[in-house]
Chain A
Amino acid sequence: MYAFDIERPTSIADAVAALAKEDAQALAGGQTLIPTLKQRLAMPSVLVSLSGIAEIRGVCKDDAGLLCIGGGTTHGTVAKEAVAHYPGLAELAAHIGDPAVRNRGTIGGSLANNDPSACYPAAALASGATILTNTREIAADDYFQGMFTTALEEGEIVTEVKFPIPQSSCYMKFEQPASRFALVGVFVAKFADGVKVAVTGASNNGVFRWSEAEAALSSDFSASALEGMSLSADDMIADMHGTAAYRAHLVAVMTRRAVSAAK
């Protein structure tokens, strides 16, 4: 790692001030950033650790019935504390990485990084979540802008994520057997006014909604409604772990499985 300083602000305001320094970089749980630093793929002068900010941690339900999760909340905490409110989301959190990673990695860090194979972006997009930052609220549909790209500005911090709670939901992940990241992951969420389907791991454009499947499932929420439906392999990721056609095929399979298992 290149040398850098670490600051540990205890409030959002102090963190924002610290991030205004040249080449400052926010450090959430560090489960992606620290390996990145070790490979010398980033060279910040200052890391601003967000783990000391109590006001961005925690899980609760607000008066509007939304599940509110602080940006600094670890996957392990979401797995435990969201289960009574939004079991599909808790189940997703419970299968990110491994237990030790889940005790450090945070939802805000995952959404800010927007890894094309990360799990949380699929949940945020399929739930129609709202991402709150220190300056504004961003709808999930506007937030994700392609692989490792989001609507966040320099120095903007994800402080909270608000999830509408679906009637039923399920996340199905086909794990890349070595990294255990999603080779393809599909989050299906059934709301009173329709179904949303979000896909991670598959596309060169990052997480996306499969609108054709959404339309079919909104009129008939069953795996058979997806019979014969397939995605174009044109924009799919192709690498040593799977071809574009394989990923496109997996999206349909995982979607059907998610619909069948949704609860």
Chain B
Amino acid sequence: MAKVAMTVNGKSVSREVEGRTLLVQFLRDDLRLTGTHVGCDTSQCGACVVHVNGEAVKACTMFALEAEGAEVTTIEAMANEDGSLNVVQQAFQDYHGLQCGFCTPGMVMSATSLLKDNPKPTEQEIRDYLEGNICRCTGYHNIIKAIMAASGQDMPSMAAE
């Protein structure tokens, strides 16, 4: 066991963990932040995407000890301060960007990263960026629409459904 300390959603946390403890296990099991999901556990699906020092990473493919001293942000910190949904989350609701919702935390975290780097992405850029986020309800069209809407763009040229 070794001690790890990091900032999660603005709060300093410190725990004893095993070397093999994944960041996602640390978040879910030690901190009880279960909004970050584990879909595949093989770095394919992206349900576990969180931000580490502002960058999207797959929390199932990073050890908790590697996040020593890092700023980690999870889906639990994405809502507005008054508890209402933020612009990306609200767009997912408005455009029905989720069906079962399992992939949604990772989708929102990835979408947020994309919009930080590229505030007005094209439809193709959104599709490319979400390569590592899999929705097994296959609700991709509405996810793309939601992200377009969250970036303040219309979707007149969207592919047919």
Contact = CB atoms under 8 A, between A and B. Distances in A.
Contacts, number: 76
A76 B20 contact: no
Interface stretch (B52-60, B86-94, B135-143, B150-158): B52-60
Contacts of B49: 100
Interface residues of B, number: 28
Interface stretch (A27-35, A202-210, A245-253): A27-35
B20 A37 contact: yes
Contacts of B68: 8, 52
A141 to B, nearest CB: 32
B66 A98 contact: no
B42 interface: yes
A236 interface: no
B119 interface: no
Given A99-B113, A100-B57, A34 B62 contact: yes
Say what secondary structure dominates the interface of chain B.
mixed
B141 to A, nearest CB: 19
Contact of A4 (B19, B42, B55, B66): B19
A97 to B, nearest CB: 7
A127 interface: no
B55 A8 contact: no
B75 interface: no
B131 A98 contact: yes
A101 interface: yes
A31 B43 contact: yes
Nearest to B65: A6
Contacts of A6: 2, 19, 63, 65-66
Interface of B: 2, 18-20, 22, 41-43, 46, 49, 52, 55-58, 61-63, 65-66, 68, 110, 113-114, 129, 131-133
Q: Closest 4 interchain pairs by CB? A: A98-B132, A6-B19, A103-B55, A1-B20
